[in-house]
Amino acid sequence: MKRLLQSKETKKTLITFGIVIITYIIVEILMLCGLLSNQLQGLLVPICYYVMLAISLNLTVGILGELSLGHAGFACVGVFTGTVFSICMQNVIAASWIRFALAIILGALFAGIVGILIGLPVLRLKGDYLAIVTLAFCEIIKNVINVIYLGKDSQGLHISTTDTTALGMEPEGVVIIKGAQGVTGMPQDANFTIGILLILITLFIVLNLVHSRDGRAIMAIRDNLIAAESVGINITKYKLMAFSISAALAGAAGAYYGHNFNNIKAATNNFGYNMSIMVLVFVVLGGIGNMRGSIIAAVLLTLLPEMLRGISEYRLLIYSIVLIGMMLFNWSPKAQAWKEKMKVRILGKLKKNQKEVQ
């Protein structure tokens, strides 16, 4: 155990995992005691989804150092590939957990592939330009899904971009994607436990990647591209790696989220640029490159608007004040100095206590 805790990074990672698991246990206990309102219980799956999105976006923004505004687009790809798979396989794979796991993997795979396809041309751009292109991509994905009609009958899948009748299906066929009306009829397999499990997997992948040779190469590109190239790092390869892994994890999150509803649409409010920016806000407020911060920000900022529903008129006002407050607390030099000071003081006390015990 002692050897395991030797490295600082491992310790930090374990603490982050610990926080997630303890939160899970507390929430489960609260649910068992009936202390959690229905409204809050309904929020658990979305919160897990946003946490996953925030962690995966932090890989692009914090570790790779590129501003991407298209993260909701990758989640959208995950939602639709995952749910379509589940509906098609509903009668083929009986065990819901296998079907769900496969749906999530497929969602991740598709989003990852889209990530590579988008990344290849887009990662040549930098800064603002990259942000603009990813933003446009997100809108395009949403609009493309809105015109797709997909149905299934005994002959297989039918696809059209006009309407349901154009699918030319047998009478007993099922329409899976109904254009702007979205996907209907997927099994609602998503629950809080699976969400926490997925958060842990996402964290595991991202943190292990960051603390490896590949992660260091990605951070080196972020810190100084020319120097990274001069020590023999393949810029394109590592940029693409970070971008596509980030996209794949968003796709997995999307596939999970899609199974929370009976019907899901690629609407502006859930997969538009607003959503991408909201996830970016989680990342920025939680601290760029800081995974633990992303998780906390995602949870707080998803809960807050819902908690404030009672005072509906002032909801957004309070939300924005909290945003500003968090921004000041996390980013102002004075607040940072204060945090450092508190950290030193607390650690110093702990060490003193330890010495006294010895």
Partner 1 sequence: MAMLEVTNLSISFGGLRAVDDFSITINEGELYGLIGPNGAGKTTVFNLLTGVYKPDEGHILLGGKDITGQKTIEINREGIARTFQNIRLFKEMTVQENVMVGLHNQIRYSTLASIFKLPSYRKAEKEMRERSLELLKVFDLDKEADTLASNLPYGKQRKLEIARALATNPKLLLLDEPAAGMNPNETIELMKTIRFVRDKFKMTILLIEHDMKLVSGICEELTVLNFGHVLCKGETKEVLNNPEVIKAYLGE
Q: Which residues contact partner 1 by CB under 8 A?
A: 8, 204-205, 208-209, 211-217, 219-220, 222-224, 226-234, 241, 289
d(CA 31, CA 283): 29
User: Looking up tokens 């797709």, which residue turns up?
Assistant: 148
Of residues 9 and 163, the one with the C-beta less far from partner 1: 9
Of residues 210 and 279, the one with the C-beta less far from partner 1: 210
Smallest separation, CB 227 to partner 1 (Å): 4
Q: Is the distance from CB of 329 to CB of 286 less than 8 angstroms?
A: no
Smallest separation, CB 190 to partner 1 (Å): 24
d(CA 355, CA 297): 36
Of residues 163 and 223, the one with the C-beta less far from partner 1: 223
Long-range contacts of 99-102 (CB under 8 A, 24+ apart): 99/187, 99/189, 100/187, 100/189, 100/190, 100/194, 100/259
Smallest separation, CB 229 to partner 1 (Å): 5
Of residues 64 and 79, the one with the C-beta less far from partner 1: 64
Of residues 38 and 230, the one with the C-beta less far from partner 1: 230
User: Looking up tokens 């009976």, which residue turns up?
Assistant: 262
Of residues 224 and 332, the one with the C-beta less far from partner 1: 224
Query: What are 150's strand-pairing partners?
Result: 159, 177
Query: What are 177's strand-pairing partners?
Result: 150, 183
- The conformation of residue 62, written as its DSSP 8-state character, comes to I
Smallest separation, CB 114 to partner 1 (Å): 20
Q: Is the distance from CB of 203 to CB of 17 less than 8 angstroms?
A: yes
Please state the separation of Cα 142 from the chain's center in Å: 17
Q: What value does the CA radius of gyration of the chain take, rounded to a whole number of Å?
A: 22
Smallest separation, CB 49 to partner 1 (Å): 22
CA distances from 142 to 61, 68, 80, 185, 245 (A): 22, 16, 10, 20, 21
Of residues 32 and 231, the one with the C-beta less far from partner 1: 231
Of residues 233 and 322, the one with the C-beta less far from partner 1: 233
Smallest separation, CB 21 to partner 1 (Å): 19
Query: What are 237's strand-pairing partners?
Result: none
Smallest separation, CB 245 to partner 1 (Å): 9
Smallest separation, CB 232 to partner 1 (Å): 4
d(CA 339, CA 268): 39
